[in-house]
Structure 1
Amino acid sequence: MKNIILLLSLFFTGLINAQNIKIEGVVTFEGEPIPETFITIKTSQVYNATTNEEGYFSVEIPENVTHYTITWEHSQFKAQTKSLKYIADQKLDLQFTEQQDEVLDAIVIDQTNKNIRRFADKTVVDVENLTVLNSGSVFDAVNKLPGVLVTANGQIAHNGKLATIFLDGEPTGMNGDQLTNFLKNLPANTVKSIEIIDRPGAKYSATFNGTIINVITKSAKIEGVSGSFMQQNTINSRIKNTTSAQIMFKKNKFSWNMNTGYTHHEGNTNSLNEFSYMSNGTQIKARENYWNNQWYQNYYLRNNWQYKVSDLANLTLKYNFNHTYSKPQTLGNMFNAFGDTETAYKQRTLGKSNNNMHELQFVYSQKLDTVGTNFTLTSNTEFQNNTNSNQLFVEDQMASTILADNNFVYSQTKADFETPFKTINGNLSLGAHYTHSVSTNNGSYIWDQARNYIPYDFKYTNKAAYASVSSNISSLMISAGLRLENLTYQSETAVDSLNLKQDYTNLFPTVTLKYPVMSGVYLSAGYSKRMNLPGAQSFNPNVTSQNSLLVSNAGNPNLKPEISHNMNATLTVFDYIYFSYNLSKMPNQNVVFYEITPNGTLESKSHNIENGISQSFNMGVPIPYAMFTKGIKNMINDRNGLNIDELSFTYLNAGYFKTRYDDVIPNRFQKGAFYIFTYSQFYLGNNSRIFVTYYNMFKGVMNLYELNKPAQNLSITFNKKFWDNKLNVNVGVDNVLNTDGFDVNVFGNGLQMRTETLNERRMFKVGLTFNFGSFKDQNQQMFPQGTPPFKTN
């Protein structure tokens, strides 16, 4: 740790004491800053730089330079060159005067209106203007992002590691099925863009491990009322429907954005479990064949009120409400063998869950000057109440009932300050965060086993301060930060041996580098230290559900925070093509697997595993082709005016990932796995398209699930727009091949276990979206808005 602090100190000192003789300025087109412009300065040597998001650049030069030649080039504009005399402290105002008629032949995807923009620490995907992403749900859109895949147990991962979902810059406060169902209910046409933050900086809490996927919803930018209504129905043996609406209003200094929706879902799946193990010298075998009925209703309301106090200050108030009611049930034919004693019986489980979440957020943002100094104060409070009932019947006789009432209160206050910092040719950010949450759990058991429910409280406090800088040193873009984080958590029960209190304080550095290899081609690399603490329910010492006479779920009060050291390198070509390598060393990680209890049953819970190493290689390549549209030659000739929404293409994501642990995990559960994911658009003309989505996870291991055969899914959708794009119609088929599901061996300590699940059969869907008013800012420019950090001469 001392070495890391020393290196960072030397780094910051080097920045502050950097050469004072420099050439700096901004690059613009029609008054708008142009990021990622490639700067070349020629004297007796050649120097390079790249503009940041505000169009600013700075290049250090030798003291003896008197004259130089400067060239600025960007794939969308004709390059400009000037010969200049060096003037100390001069701020150059470089302007593009003409857009490019000829773009490099490799750029077949539209470059005049980028749908993907890559920065040093994140990738921004435009959802609003890309029909293939905005025609379904937010879950569908997220699943099509570069490097994203859904794991065998339904969680969202990016580049082989689990991801955290944010909504408008803040965590959703949901996880598991609740989060997945919410994303499936939220229509993608309400989303402006999605940020893939695969290198979270010091501004983000170190407790968010892995990638952050930030979904940014649309907001009112023009006077008047605008919005949309969506109705979608899916049919197989059951009918499922989703209805949602968005309304945006703006009048003078006040704007209001509301999203609301309702979903009813009922679907059937089939599962088969086979396992065997030894308990107290007795061989136990079981075969459990389930029919599962998933039934839930969900409705949500999200409100965002914003008042522009002045040209420099904004007040924002948000209120969000989410309600989910579910009543899943299973019917099973069970077979158990205890030594020589064999038993066959029928069982039934009934579940009920009622969850209500209220969230209130206040944001005050203040621009302190006109050159980019900003202050933001955010206060967020969330209340959740969840009541659960889990009943197990064997031959119509009640075997157990587990009742629980969970209350959760979460509060966070944070202050963030950002300002241009001339000494380092970039920006300085400072901030402080305070987070506190309390989870209270009460319940009861009706159980044929002698066991009492233990009332359980979990308290969590996080205090943090951070500092980060971003700078351009010649052509190298650097962002570095350091975060001090104190984490205190404790569980309180009536049983002293289950009480736990931990206090953890540490430093978490982050460094990101981005270097332009040539115009449009970038190499980036980064390092971050992260920490992750499981949710409160993972510490709950009680059995929270019983799935059969032999299988149940419980928490583990002895868990520790996860620590990971993450390194990555990415090569991007014109933003659309990428190749990345990721390596994580994990001194401590919590993973879920089954263990044999003293009474001979199985419990699924989280366990601490040490010395983990995770690595992955991922790539994304767009493949345009001439099917139902103009030929490749014509596409190249007309590429300056290409509209990606009217192009036939396939975007291929592929990857390999592998995680190794210490010797507690057998080698068979530490193998790697390959996957491919493609989404294709076939443009038929007349504003009509066909979307084809295909996913295949080959044999291998993912999160301790060993696939016995590849998992794959194919979906096809026909899309047609009417009335000047105001009416959007989707008709399609999900799970075309009836192969959605998985056949896996599940790791368990001292047991053999196989699970086979076949998800819902082929589903037919039809969806209508009607837009009214205007979703777009009529003053919106082609490039991101921004203020140059320094005034130009």
Structure 2
Amino acid sequence: MKRTLILACILLCSMELSAQSQWIQFSFVSKDFPCEEVPKELTISTILAGKDSTIFKQPFSECSKSIEIPKLPGMYSFTVKTQLYQPILLSFEIKENMADTIQLGDLVLKEPVSELDEVTITGIQRKFIEIDADKTTLTVKDNPVLSISSIYDAILKVPGIMPYPGGGFAVGGQMASVYFEGVPSSLSTDDLMNLLKSLPASSVETIEIISNPGASFDANVSGAIININSIGKPTKWLSGTVTLNYGLNQNQKISPSIVLSSRQSKWSWQLQTGYSNNERSNRDTSDRVFSSFNPEIGLNSDRKEQVHSSYFYFKPSATLNFSRRSSLIMNYNGSFGDTKFTGNSMTESPGMVPAIALQTDYTSRNYGMGNEGMLKFRQEFDTLKRVLNVTAFYSNYQNRSKRSNLQRVSEMDDFSILDYYMNINRFYLRADAEIPFEKIKFYMNFGVKYSLMHVDNIGSYNLNNDSSEIFDNRTYSSRIDFDYTEDNLAGYLDLKKKLGKKVTIGTGLRAENFSLSRASNVTSTARNNYFNFFPSFNAIYRMNSLVNVIGTYSRKIGIPGFSQYDPNNSGYYDPFTSSSGNSALKPNFYDNAQFKITFFDYAQLSVNYTHSQFLNLSEVVVQPNSLQTVQTFRTYKNVNSINYFMALPIPFVLFTKGLKFMDEPVEVDKMSFLYIYSSYTKTTIPDYSYVNRNKGMWTLGVYSQFILPWKIRMNVEYYITGKGNYQIYEFVRNRSSFDVSFSREFYEKKLKTSVSFEDIFNTDQSNTRVSFPNIHMNSYSKQDTRIIWFKIAYSFGRIEKNDSEGLNLPNVGGE
């Protein structure tokens, strides 16, 4: 694991740190419309030293309203904005010994206006995190720690998110899916990571962590969801952000990008484009012991690889507003990737007579091109925000890969070529309705969806040829043509009810039918049909302004990825190593439950339990008295996993001022703090034979911020993961990383700069042990993680947020 969740503490400044509450009561009067039909949105902040900062924001439609805020003395501004009326501007003062309720009286709505506005109450403390029963939302915009980094870096600093072994992210010990604006990414793991490292975090408004996705999300969601929402509605003038990241070690990494947006009358548009050029070095060693021989035979491999990848993306989007209540959103996403691999490996068995000495030199080049389009029509039927969304999506992704191997054994050369062409087409059509009943605090969402995916993957091979001419004149001796089709039809209902001011509960039910078909010229055709119901439940109890108690449950299905079925040899190849899919894999039905307590929003204790009826994991197959290994997949039954997580922020001012600091507003970019987190994960797989006792894995991390002279922020991060088992893998050595960064903002925070030093002690590496019938394996993997990063971002223009318009970060991928 490279780095973890972290961040939370910076956000301590946005907490409501006093248990005392001040109630603000007011009501609305309207001549033209019943006031309950006028949508309103409420935000509260105070004024101090000429600065405003929002501390409360909430949409509502009632004619009368009571709002609870921390009772902190000071002047407050109160701004009410609506879709149809002029803003209402007020101010009030909170004093220490005043009554607990302030009456603002009747507020008159008058003189319709032409543009959609919102209700804002402004204050000193900016709330960077919002906790609900079904999700946790972290604000990235104007966040002094996150906004200078890439989206990839920002995600890893969200409390509870860790890197997933093999790529991607993990939440609660399970791999998480990445969504953009509620749409899942269809990019490969490598392309998705390249994109996230290229996109600037300054283009993101919020990151949502949905640990137990409800009925509105696909049943085929693996674990949690990380949903990325971009900066909102463009202004009438041109605005944007230019970003440049440059990383340096023995290799170079550079990623420039630009985000532009604007609007004219009924039209608004946004453009994101960028490029990344990434060089990296990898080293992998493997010690294999073949236990079916007597005495046992060992093979030791050492592989070194140099990777050069370039990635370009072009993502325009536009919104056409037909009226105040209807709009059409159009997104296009284009991307192109080019990755070159150059490597060599040495495989030896010095204990054998005669000894084996295999040298492999290889080159590989992958070209990937993606084109995606989305149309989304949104219609509000009345001022109570009854909404219908209809979305159509199509994507095409093509990948061409050419690999050449030179293998030398006992001074004899063999030549092999492995070429692939993959074509993936995806389509879905969905309709979603939102019906709120504000008077009784009851909310209902329901919808239907049909999706279709078709995959063709053609592998062409010429293995162990005695002529190098096949490299220049690529002729093939065998071919595998894999065809995969998946379609599903689903309907869902989500219900949510607020019980008083402290309790909110939600429940949902999704019915979904999956049809799978897979065939190739080397395997028989297989068809499966799965239909089931998938319930979900969530609840939150807000004990007070400081403590939340949350419980969630969901049932999901995990359909094996098409690559797990594919019989093509798509992994590393030499005379002793190959790979293939498994057409007999079963889908996983799993139940996931979570219980969490949060304090001040950022301190938390949580436990997550998952029972998987089936779980598909990697397996190495070796026949008795053979030295050839085949990397494939296997279905394990009745797998149980439990994850504990703890996080505690400690502001240093606590040691100088004691608890008195809790009565004072604090600005995050002026606060020094320490954030401590720890997690423990244990997975039990009854069908797997562990080499040693199955032990869970601990992770301990510390993230801190120090305010230095000249407004420089220094952030220090350290984590260590102990020995233990993760699924079938036993980590036999600790893994750790130590990072330091320095950042500063200029020109009213428009220019942001940073210098960071990652993995200073070069200890971010993986050492694992795994065992299968007839073979025991010890593996070591190391990438060039010790890097110096220089990052600069400049923002210009102004940005307004309008949640109802929906022009956000172009959707990357689809279902």
- What TM-score bracket applies, with the shorter chain setting the length? 0.7 to 0.9
Distance of 1:26 and 1:417 partners within structure 2: 33
SS in 1 for 2:618: strand
Q: Deviations along 1:458-502, whole A, 9 cap, x unmatched?
A: 00001100011100234431100100000001102234x532100
Contact 2:62 2:439 in 1 (8 A): no
- Aligned twin of 1:300: 313
- Aligned twin of 2:630: 603
SS in 1 for 2:479: coil
TM-score (norm 2): 0.81
- Aligned twin of 2:719: 695
Contact 1:26 1:55 in 2 (8 A): no
- Note closer, same or farther for the CA distance 1:399–1:96 as it changes in structure 2 (3 Å cut): farther
Instruction: Report the alpha carbon displacement of residue 664 of structure 1 after superposing the two structures with TM.
Output: 2.8
- Aligned twin of 2:784: 760
Amino acid at match of 1:730: S
- Aligned twin of 2:369: 356
- Aligned twin of 2:688: 664
SS in 1 for 2:480: coil
From 404, 419, 444, the counterpart of 1:403: 419
- Aligned twin of 1:428: 444
Instruction: Report the alpha carbon displacement of residue 706 of structure 1 after superposing the two structures with TM.
Output: 1.3
Q: In terms of mean alpha carbon deviation, does 670-679 or 751-760 score higher?
A: 670-679
Instruction: Report the alpha carbon displacement of residue 369 of structure 1 after superposing the two structures with TM.
Output: 1.1
> Aligned runs of 1:31-46 on 2, under 5 Å?
33=41
Q: In terms of mean alpha carbon deviation, does 434-443 or 592-601 score higher?
A: 592-601
> Aligned runs of 1:412-491 on 2, under 5 Å?
412-421=428-437, 425-448=441-464, 452-474=478-500, 475-491=502-518
- Aligned twin of 2:665: 641
Instruction: Report the alpha carbon displacement of residue 682 of structure 1 after superposing the two structures with TM.
Output: 1.6
Instruction: Report the alpha carbon displacement of residue 652 of structure 1 after superposing the two structures with TM.
Output: 2.5
SS in 1 for 2:424: strand
Instruction: Report the alpha carbon displacement of residue 254 of structure 1 after superposing the two structures with TM.
Output: 1.5
Q: In terms of mean alpha carbon deviation, does 354-363 or 602-611 score higher?
A: 602-611
Contact 2:41 2:57 in 1 (8 A): no
- Note closer, same or farther for the CA distance 1:406–1:202 as it changes in structure 2 (3 Å cut): same
Q: Deviations along 1:408-462, whole A, 9 cap, x unmatched?
A: 0001111000102479641111100111000011121111399833211100001
SS in 2 for 1:180: helix
Distance of 1:678 and 1:96 partners within structure 2: 41
Distance of 1:653 and 1:461 partners within structure 2: 41
SS in 1 for 2:355: strand
Contact 1:744 1:756 in 2 (8 A): yes
Indicate yes or no: 2:739 matched with 1:738.
Answer: no
Q: Deviations along 1:19-64, whole A, 9 cap, x unmatched?
A: xxxxxx997799965699xxxxxxxxxxxxxx99545899xxxxxx
- Note closer, same or farther for the CA distance 1:422–1:644 as it changes in structure 2 (3 Å cut): closer
TM-score (norm 1): 0.83
Amino acid at match of 1:363: K
Instruction: Report the alpha carbon displacement of residue 213 of structure 1 after superposing the two structures with TM.
Output: 0.1
- Aligned twin of 1:248: 261
- Aligned twin of 1:584: 610
Indicate yes or no: 2:201 matched with 1:201.
Answer: no
Distance of 2:24 and 2:513 partners within structure 1: 40
Distance of 2:189 and 2:761 partners within structure 1: 26
- Aligned twin of 2:142: 129
Indicate yes or no: 2:338 matched with 1:325.
Answer: yes
- Note closer, same or farther for the CA distance 1:473–1:639 as it changes in structure 2 (3 Å cut): closer
- Note closer, same or farther for the CA distance 1:72–1:635 as it changes in structure 2 (3 Å cut): same
- Note closer, same or farther for the CA distance 1:765–1:456 as it changes in structure 2 (3 Å cut): same
Instruction: Report the alpha carbon displacement of residue 635 of structure 1 after superposing the two structures with TM.
Output: 9.3
- Note closer, same or farther for the CA distance 1:76–1:437 as it changes in structure 2 (3 Å cut): farther
From 565, 573, 581, the counterpart of 1:555: 581
Amino acid at match of 1:774: R
SS in 2 for 1:544: coil
Contact 2:743 2:753 in 1 (8 A): yes
Distance of 1:423 and 1:53 partners within structure 2: 15
Distance of 1:569 and 1:100 partners within structure 2: 38
Instruction: Report the alpha carbon displacement of residue 252 of structure 1 after superposing the two structures with TM.
Output: 2.1
Calculate the aligned-residue CA RMSD, in Å. 3.2
Instruction: Report the alpha carbon displacement of residue 361 of structure 1 after superposing the two structures with TM.
Output: 0.5
Contact 1:287 1:335 in 2 (8 A): yes
From 312, 326, 342, the counterpart of 1:313: 326
Instruction: Report the alpha carbon displacement of residue 586 of structure 1 after superposing the two structures with TM.
Output: 0.5
Amino acid at match of 2:559: L
- Aligned twin of 2:16: none
From 183, 186, 189, the counterpart of 2:196: 183
Amino acid at match of 1:444: S
Indicate yes or no: 2:654 matched with 1:654.
Answer: no
SS in 2 for 1:135: coil
Q: Deviations along 1:294-350, whole A, 9 cap, x unmatched?
A: 211111111111122111111100000121110112122321368533112322121
Amino acid at match of 1:416: D
Distance of 1:634 and 1:620 partners within structure 2: 21
Instruction: Report the alpha carbon displacement of residue 703 of structure 1 after superposing the two structures with TM.
Output: 3.5
From 120, 139, 144, the counterpart of 2:157: 144
Q: In terms of mean alpha carbon deviation, does 238-247 or 338-347 score higher?
A: 338-347
Q: In terms of mean alpha carbon deviation, does 580-589 or 249-258 score higher?
A: 249-258
Contact 2:234 2:263 in 1 (8 A): yes
Instruction: Report the alpha carbon displacement of residue 235 of structure 1 after superposing the two structures with TM.
Output: 1.3
Taking only the aligned residue pairs, the percentage that are identical comes to 24
Q: Deviations along 1:573-595, whole A, 9 cap, x unmatched?
A: 12111111111111111111222
- Note closer, same or farther for the CA distance 1:516–1:55 as it changes in structure 2 (3 Å cut): farther
Amino acid at match of 2:695: K
Instruction: Report the alpha carbon displacement of residue 667 of structure 1 after superposing the two structures with TM.
Output: 6.4
> Aligned runs of 1:164-183 on 2, under 5 Å?
164-183=177-196
Contact 1:240 1:265 in 2 (8 A): yes
Q: Deviations along 1:358-404, whole A, 9 cap, x unmatched?
A: 11000111111111211101111110000112332223934422111
SS in 2 for 1:132: coil
Distance of 1:256 and 1:543 partners within structure 2: 44
SS in 1 for 2:707: strand
Q: Deviations along 1:594-647, whole A, 9 cap, x unmatched?
A: 221576411222211101001111122222115xxx974299458543211221
SS in 2 for 1:134: coil
Distance of 1:770 and 1:531 partners within structure 2: 44
Q: Deviations along 1:551-587, whole A, 9 cap, x unmatched?
A: 2222111112111101111111121111111111111
From 511, 518, 522, the counterpart of 2:548: 522
- Note closer, same or farther for the CA distance 1:75–1:55 as it changes in structure 2 (3 Å cut): farther
Distance of 2:453 and 2:622 partners within structure 1: 33
- Aligned twin of 2:70: 75
- Aligned twin of 2:647: 620
- Note closer, same or farther for the CA distance 1:325–1:748 as it changes in structure 2 (3 Å cut): farther
Distance of 2:335 and 2:249 partners within structure 1: 27
Contact 1:610 1:661 in 2 (8 A): yes
Instruction: Report the alpha carbon displacement of residue 541 of structure 1 after superposing the two structures with TM.
Output: 1.3
Instruction: Report the alpha carbon displacement of residue 698 of structure 1 after superposing the two structures with TM.
Output: 1.1
- Note closer, same or farther for the CA distance 1:26–1:638 as it changes in structure 2 (3 Å cut): closer
Distance of 1:537 and 1:96 partners within structure 2: 61
Contact 2:636 2:687 in 1 (8 A): no
Contact 1:284 1:337 in 2 (8 A): no
- Note closer, same or farther for the CA distance 1:548–1:636 as it changes in structure 2 (3 Å cut): farther
Distance of 1:555 and 1:123 partners within structure 2: 37
